[in-house]
Structure 1
Amino acid sequence: MTMRNLFVRVDKNSQSPARRGNQAAGQQQWLRHAATATMPELFRELNSSEEGLAAERVDAAREFYGANAVAQATKRPLPLRLLAAFADPFTYILVFIAAVSVLTDWIFATGADRDLSTPLIIGTMVLVSGVLRFIQDEKSTVAAEALAEMVESCAEVERDGDGGNETPIDEIVIGDVVHLSSGDVVPADLRIFSARDLFVSQASLTGESEPVEKRASLAADASATAAASAPALTDLESLAFMGSTVISGNARGIVVATGARTMFGEATGTLAGRKRETSFDAGIKSTSRLLMRLMLAMLPVVFVVSGATKGDWVSALLFSLSVAVGLTPEMLPMLVTTCLGKGAVDLSRHHVIVKRLDAIQDLGAIDVLCTDKTGTLTEDRIVLERHLDVNGREDARVLRYAFLNSYFSTGVKNLIDNAIVERALAEGTDEVNATVGSTTTAEELAERYHGIDELPFDFERRRLSVVVGDAAGHTRMVTKGALEEVLAVCSSVEVDGQVLPLTDELRTQVVRRGEALADEGMRVLGVARKNEPAGAATLTVADERNMVLIGYLAFLDPPKESSAAAIRALAAHGVATKVLTGDSPRVAAHVCRAIGIDAEHVLTGVDVEAMNDGELADAVQRTNIFAKLSPAQKARVVRTLRGLGHAVAYMGDGVNDAAAMRESDCGISVDSAVDVAREAADIILLEKDLMVLERGIECGRRTYANVIKYVKMTVSSNFGNIASVLVAAALLPFLPMTAVQLLLLNLIYDLTCTAIPWDNVDEDAIRTPRRWDTASVRRFMVAFGPLSSVFDILTFAALFFFVCPAVAGGAWGTLDAAGQALFVGTFQAGWFVESMWTQTLVVHLIRTEKVPFVGSRASLPLCALGATGIAVACVLPVTPLGAALDFCALPATFWPILATMVAGYAALAMLAKRRYVRRNGSLL
């Protein structure tokens, strides 16, 4: 079995289930082979070495084995994306109407009756709608991809023995040597050949939350093992899989599978193109279903009424289909995409990068922000303020032991480790006790000792142990961590140079001194030692016992000056801030009080674990501070808040935040976060500042306001037109508008609405969270739709009894065929113009709760397009196109009537708007 033979045998483009199954089996066989082969054999098979691929072999490997991209990353070809822009139910109905029109107006028509104007206009509508949607989709996709590249995930890859350089994950190829360290996401399937205390989470593959250790061990040959007893691939210690998260330790491994051939790629291959449905998606679908049901209900009614009263069933069918389409906002997909794409670009100007466009609306909808404390509410500038013995006196020995622990740990150095090392280097002249040698500087300690083994930090033990040794063969274990957890493994305490049993009295004194430091806003860690540990080279958790507590470390991370203002700003926008931290409750409470977060109630991880779901649901409502939480507990708190109906965002940057981010409605991270946090996030902040987030929330709410504005005003206006059509179809001896006239009216109106994404939004509309509410769309449609019908009916009466008889030379029943044609053409032109005026006016009346044009003005593009649409409608009846549509010129007597109708409609709509806001709390 070789990698090249595997790829020759397997058809990588095959989509049949049988072939995919064969490919999966072959891939698993290859991975087992990679785990059992010796490293010289594997390097030879992959034309690589311990120093990585030669530069000239990288392109050849990528060409032969393929790119490191799973199925979800595959982009559809341009022709398919263009076709997809025309794929929606409303376009299908338009095409059906055009097909029927071709049959009735051309194929089965004869002589002068043959006319293709209707299908041509419908074809124009379909083309304009689809092309606009395609253009906006492409622009939004390009913008999102460009923004995503700004936070592209990388891995440290060694090639030609260069020691390792940051390389984009999608450029990694089979044969590359990858360096792993704490916080990394494994970028491909790897065979580990060098590891030190490497613990990874394989939850993305196995669902198991407990980290597992990976080693550079040689797996047993699968061929010598019965198939039933062979270990699962994920249990093989020498393999690390794409999508796994490095919890602690470091390692080097060679890439043995990339992209769709990884375990992760195989598992997700059937999900290509799918994405998690957001509340925004669900709202759009729910509204679309409402409109489709209403359309299906109205279509037969209009068809029967029109056909029965006019006697022309073919025209009645076309007209009823046009009415049904007129009810639907067919530009909605294009406008949604435009609004979200514009929102993403706007957010980028505020140093906010959007990875998932729908997350813009989700961000605007949040009413609870859960955030970590360190670096978000604080300066992220940890300083070691004190290193004390158990009596509370400064003690250089405590610092030196802490230095050994931090310096020789192999994980990514966090802020605490950096603060310890910096302080130890700065205090190099202090005398050191003989238990850690007679050297007097941190540099000399680093030279004298060497790391032997360690137990990496995890979020359950909350401590880190390191074993160091010297040239004489003596070993010492040094443990640092949360004070309570360090105390739990100590049986003795060092007081004034003497080792004493850790009695209950001494334990109480230690805890009280730690609490006193925490009350000053300091984070307190304990430091313990143990000479000549039994498991020096094979350290286990069982070795963390019978240790000697030697003192405290007290760190200070002051609150940011901007945090208090940001918390107030978020509260003013209806967003409650809750702190979920792994830090101690006293430190968390001190910081929260300093920045204005209510610290009356504090829950710890122990409290959360002891509560059932009902108890936790009651507690999270009144609690703002959750301290000493594990990653699973953070995720549970977020899940509970969402279950109570809150829209929750989670902001974090560490490995321990990823699970909570995935549980939230909107995951937020920063560009400096670990890989796993950035991968889990929907939004990336380029500045770790809540004020930046507040601007993002505002932008999200503006985006939502403009989308819902279009939906509500369009649905209500078109619903009113349909009510008018029903009345007209029942009472008039002719259709109030032909099918193509109605469709053209809808097209012109929709084109004027394409500027809505650039419209201004009142500050009142972004002050509180807004979530998609289909019921409010229904209420809005029922409340405002009939208003336009009132004035439509009055317009019908004015046209039928006054305007049209004056133009045609008599009442309808007295006219010949030519006179009736003039009568109908004038009537239809009059209602066409009046409908365009009222539909455009309703945009300005409904876009704001204030007085339009005075208290709130629409954007210039929206005003300009609206004015253009009205001008086109008014001029159209006197143009050749108007004549082709059977419109007739309107007389001068029509315009005063139109002005009266428009003014009356505006006055009545303003009254209805006030009444609606009183009843429902808001307009949009």
Structure 2
Amino acid sequence: MLKNYTRQLFAQLSRHLPRRLVQRDPLPDARHLASGPIPESLGQHCLNVAAMDDQEIWRAFDSHPEGLNEGEVAAKILKHGDNQIPAQKPSPWWVHLWTCYRNPFNLLLTVLGIVSYSTEDLFAAGVIALMVGISTLLNFIQEARSTKAADALKAMVSNTATVLRVVNEQGESRWLELPIDQLVPGDIIRLSAGDMIPADLRILQARDLFVAQASLTGESLPVEKVARSRDPLQQNPLECDTLCFMGTNVVSGSAQAIVFATGGRTWFGQLAGRVSEQESEPNAFQKGISRVSMLLIRFMLVMAPVVLLINGYTKGDWWEAALFALSVAVGLTPEMLPMIVTSTLARGAVKLSKQKVIVKHLDAIQNFGAMDILCTDKTGTLTQDKIVLENHTDVSGKVCERVLHAAWLNSHYQTGLKNLLDTAVLEGVELDAARGLAERWQKVDEIPFDFERRRMSVVVKEDDAAHQLICKGALQEILNVSTQVRYNGDIVPLDDTMLRRIRRVTDTLNRQGLRVVAVATKYLPAREGDYQRADESDLILEGYIAFLDPPKETTAPALKALKASGITVKILTGDSELVAAKVCHEVGLDAGEVVIGSQIEAMCDDELAALAKRTTLFARLAPLHKERIVTLLKREGHVVGFMGDGINDAPALARGGYRHLGRRRGGYRPRGGGYHSAGEEPDGAGGGGNRRPPHLRQHAQVHQNDRQLQLRQRFQRAGGQRLPAVSADAAAAPVDSEPAVRCLPSGDPV
């Protein structure tokens, strides 16, 4: 009962009052958005917009095909406001000061200081007040400086959209690059591959437009968007194929669209206001401090009354006995402990700032040091994320220039979003040969890539000869539309025997750590008109192109340093198990038994938790698989870190205690977590002592356990003769605090 009462008292003092004064709604994350309730009025409005024809759209949003003029834009801004999601307001300085002050140790020392002052022990009261003041001000000043630097960093980031606007009194229209906060309903937007959707849009024109909606719906694959709905009776706004929503992004294709909602009136903005604030879970450091505080309180509540009673009965002077009991209570408390803790963490923050890392919350430093499991993806973390064309072979595995040239024509003439594989193919052909291919073959048409077919085709011709369709894509998808194979120069049927031969060759390439893409061709009579997906049939399999994503030179030393620091590394990747296992072998990581996503789906939480503890490599994972693994590891009492860089890593990033966001595809920033950092290529295990786990990705280094993390020893030394050895981070508990660390792109340390 006494334990519960004291906990409730501290909770009331440290949380209840300031939360009432500064309570605010957090920004939503993908999980909340996917599961949150759909406002009926908002959903119906979206469905109405999706059902409109072009004329109704122009009338409804008071717009026209030439774009809006300056006067119309000004009027709409007055009516609708800027295109900004309502964000969290910064806390007043006095609330921040209270937050820095309110920890169990400071509150305990304050109570003892007040009692000492009331008994005219001014020296003890002064010492306690000085220690509490220094601790609070150090924390306040360091976090205020870091917050200011982080705000300056955010101000450097701006997003723009391509907008059609009337630019003069003659009605001339131009496409302009404008900040997205200047968009208004009725604006006409041009979209292309890689663009972020800046507001809620209705598609007017589209060509092979695919949009990734994982941030809203959790769908792992992009969906196609069109100007004329294929399902006019659709009742779910997020599944309307004529609408694009803020927070999503264009994967491939191009389009023109009209803005129908901005800012807080968008789907994203409306749901942001409906997400209720959740109590933040204390991290390992905070739980450790609380445990030590409760231990001290229990000692005092036992010792002080005993001393009072014994002294009072034996000497008969109850006032002197009370003063002596108070002295015992003060003596049990290490007055300098809060200052020592804050000063060591502040020193760590300053040291990290020299590595271009902004520590927004000092607790995050110790939280990082408490990490015992690091989950990471493979591509760009263990590997360089730089695809190299390693091999080009025919079906039998022999080097074949015909396959390379066909793949080059496919990559050269496709107009979609060129990925790293296409870049590697284009760089894999010598300049003279490439120039000759481009002069010899002319493009006729293309069938763009989509995530259902997982292949793309171009149609080329040589002078006035027949057309040749060249198809490139995933092996299984190419086999599905192939009926013949070019084998030793002859065209032979694709039968079971040949299929087994193909599997043997491709499995061998996979075991070498290579990613295999198949190439097939088909000759067609010359004709006018567009080519369709139906033309991708009865193809001739020519061979394969194989790519390597080589490991970083710093990966193997980094993994050794992590192991020496007592941190277990687990690989969570969506790539093939053969490729992932090969990479693990090359960097000296024992993959052991490999678990794939389909196996995880069949397991209950208890089974997966037991498996996750003993498994190093997880392959073919969906985003939610990663999140589930991280969550279960935390449930088992581990402090889990996660390194990821794409939208597919967002759910797991949101669950990890320490989070490291990469810079390759980073548009997502999850709410919460210990560390967020980015920078330049690290030096692996070198520099700064041998206790830190160096980053595997190309980012600034962050120390795991340098001198600023010698918290345990200082706790015990500060407690001296009075306390048992209770570690401040003994409670290795799940972590879900606010974003604590960001990285400066350049410039002087904070």
Q: TM-score, structure 1 length as denominator?
A: 0.59
Asked whether the 8 Å contact 2:138–2:342 carries over to 1, the reply is no
Summarize deviations over 1:38-92 as a string: whole Å, max 9, x none. Answer: 6677678778777877789989877764555555532123344345445556666
Aligned-partner Cα distance in 1 for 2:518–2:88: 47
Superposed, 1:383-394 pairs within 5 Å as 383-394=388-399
Q: 1:674 to 1:85 in 2, by over 3 A?
A: closer
Q: Please report how far the alpha carbon of residue 584 of structure 1 lies from its aligned counterpart in structure 2 after TM superposition.
A: 3.9
Aligned to 1:742: none
| Cα-to-partner distance string for 1:678-718 (whole Å, 9 max, x where unaligned) | 88984333235582783468623237734444544445666
Once the two structures are TM-superposed, the CA of residue 448 in structure 1 deviates from its matched residue by 2.2
Measure, in 2, the Cα distance between the counterparts of 1:175 and 1:338: 55
Structure 2 counterpart SS, 1:558: coil
Aligned to 2:241: 237
Q: Is the 8 A contact 2:514 2:548 kept in 1?
A: yes
Give, in whole Å, the separation in 2 of the partners of 1:543 and 1:319. Answer: 94
In the alignment, what sits opposite 1:455?
450
Give the SS at the match of 2:546.
strand
Q: Secondary structure at the match of 2:542?
A: strand
Q: In the alignment, which of 656, 679, 692 is matched to residue 686 of structure 1? A: 679
The structural deviation recorded for 1:555 is 2.0
Report if the CA contact (8 A) 1:148-1:355 is conserved. no
Distance across 2 between alignment mates of 1:118 and 1:615: 56
Provide the rounded CA distance (Å) in 2 between the counterparts of 1:181 and 1:344: 41
1:368 is aligned to 373
Distance 1:271 1:709, change over 3 A: farther
**What's 1:700 paired with?**
704
Match of 2:437 in 1: 441
Q: Alpha carbons of 1:669 and 1:40: their partners in 2 closer, same or farther (altered >3 Å)? A: farther
Task: Find out whether 1:773 has 2:746 as its counterpart.
Answer: no
Pairwise CA distance, 1:773: 0.7
What's the secondary structure of 1:691's corresponding residue? coil
Contact 2:139-2:362 at 8 Å conserved across structures? no
1: CA distance, partners of 2:363 / 2:554:
28
Larger radius of gyration: 1
Closer, same or farther in 2 for the Cα pair 1:700/1:465, shift >3 Å? same
1:272-283, aligned counterparts within 5 Å? 275=280, 277-283=282-288
Q: Classify 1:94/1:422 alpha carbon distance in 2 versus 1 (closer, same or farther; 3 Å).
A: closer
CA contact (8 A) 1:136 1:338 kept: no
Structure 1: distance between partners of 2:713 and 2:49: 58
Contact 2:245–2:268 (8 Å) recurs in 1 = yes
Is contact 2:222-2:451 (8 Å) kept? Answer: no
Question: Which residue is 1:557 aligned to?
Answer: 549
Q: 1:220 to 1:66 in 2, by over 3 A?
A: farther
Give the deviation of 1:401 after TM superposition. 4.2
Equivalent residues in 2 for 1:119-198 (5 A)? 130-146=136-152, 152=157, 154=159, 156-158=161-163, 186-198=197-209
| Superposed displacement of residue 34, structure 1 | 4.8
Of 379-388 and 337-346, deviating more is 337-346
Question: Residue in 2 aligned with 1:81?
Answer: 96
Deviation at 1:232, TM superposition (A): 3.5
1:569 aligns with 2:554: no
Separation in structure 2 between the aligned mates of residue 773 and residue 667 of structure 1, nearest angstrom = 21
**CA–CA distance in structure 1, aligned partners of residues 417 and 667 of structure 2:** 12
- CA distance in structure 2 between the partners assigned to 1:318 and 1:568 by the alignment: 56
With over 3 angstroms needed to count, the CA separation of the structure-2 counterparts of 1:528 and 1:265, relative to structure 1, is: same
5 Å matches for 1:791-806?
A: none
CA distance in 2, matches of 1:164, 1:629: 41
What amino acid sits opposite 1:81 in the alignment? Answer: H
- 2:703 match: secondary structure: helix
Structure with greater strand share of residues = 2
Find the aligned partners of 1:405 and 1:415 in 2 and give their Cα distance: 14
Deviation at 1:525, TM superposition (A): 1.6
The residue number in structure 2 matching 1:414 is: 419
Residues 725-747 of structure 1: per-residue CA shift (max 9 Å, x gap): xxxxxxxxxxxxxxxxxxxxxxx
Match of 2:455 in 1: 464
Which amino acid in 1 is paired with 2:226?
R
Q: Work out whether residues 346 and 699 of structure 1, in 8 Å CA contact, stay in contact via their aligned partners in 2.
A: no
The answer on 1:215 being equivalent to 2:226 is: yes
- Which residue, 381, 386, 393 being the options, matches 1:381? 386
Distance 1:669 1:280 in 2: 22
User: Which sections of structure 2, spanning at least 5 residues, go unmatched?
Assistant: 1-21, 26-35, 166-172, 686-691, 696-700, 734-750
Do the aligned partners of residues 43 and 518 (structure 1) sit closer, same or farther apart at CA in structure 2, a change above 3 Å counting?
same
For residue 663 of structure 2, the aligned residue among 646, 671, 679 is 671
Q: Secondary structure at the match of 2:520?
A: strand
- What do residues 590-619 of structure 1 show as CA deviations (whole Å, max 9, x unaligned)? 433333223554444455556665665565
Distance 1:292 1:146, change over 3 A: farther
Report the AA paired with residue 699 of structure 1: H
Deviation at 1:278, TM superposition (A): 3.8
The residue number in structure 2 matching 1:726 is none
For residues 60 and 470 of structure 2, the distance between their equivalents in structure 1, rounded to whole angstroms, comes to 43
Q: Deviation of residue 667 (structure 1)?
A: 2.8
Deviation, structure 1 residue 240 = 3.0
Structure 1 CA distance, aligned partners of 2:465 and 2:405? 20
- Partners of 2:209 and 2:330 in 1: how far apart? 61
CA contact (8 A) 2:450 2:456 kept: yes
Paired residue type of 1:376: T
Distance 1:354 1:443 in 2: 56
d(CA) in 1 for partners of 2:562 and 2:551? Answer: 17
Contact 1:671 1:685 (8 Å CA) reproduced: yes
Hey, what does 1:487 align to over in structure 2?
479
8 Å CA contact 1:493, 1:500 repeated in 2: yes
Write the distance in 1 (CA, Å) between the matches of 2:728 and 2:252.
40
1:507 to partner: Cα distance: 0.9
Contact 1:144 1:341 in 2 (8 A): no
User: 1-side partners of 2:183 and 2:317: how far apart?
Assistant: 68
Which structure exhibits the higher relative contact order, with contacts defined as CA atoms closer than 8 Å and separated by 6 or more residues?
2
Query: Which of the residues 394, 404, 409 maps onto 1:399?
Result: 404
Q: Does 1:653 align with 2:657?
A: no
SS in 2 for 1:525: strand
Deviation at 1:209, TM superposition (A): 5.3
- Within a 5 Å distance, the mapping from 1:801-816 to structure 2 comes to none
Q: 2:505 aligns with which of 486, 494, 513?
A: 513
Question: Which residue identity is paired with 2:693?
Answer: E
Q: Secondary structure at the match of 2:677?
A: strand
The code of the aligned residue for 1:465 comes to: M
Aligned pairs (5 A) from 1:516-555: 516-529=508-521, 547-555=539-547
Structure 1 position 640, deviation (Å) = 5.1
Alpha-carbon distance in 2 for matches of 1:385, 1:65: 54
Closer/same/farther in 2, CA of residues 329 and 192 from structure 1, 3 Å limit: farther
Determine the C-alpha separation between the residues in 1 that align with 2:263 and 2:718.
45
Instruction: Give the SS at the match of 1:675.
Output: coil
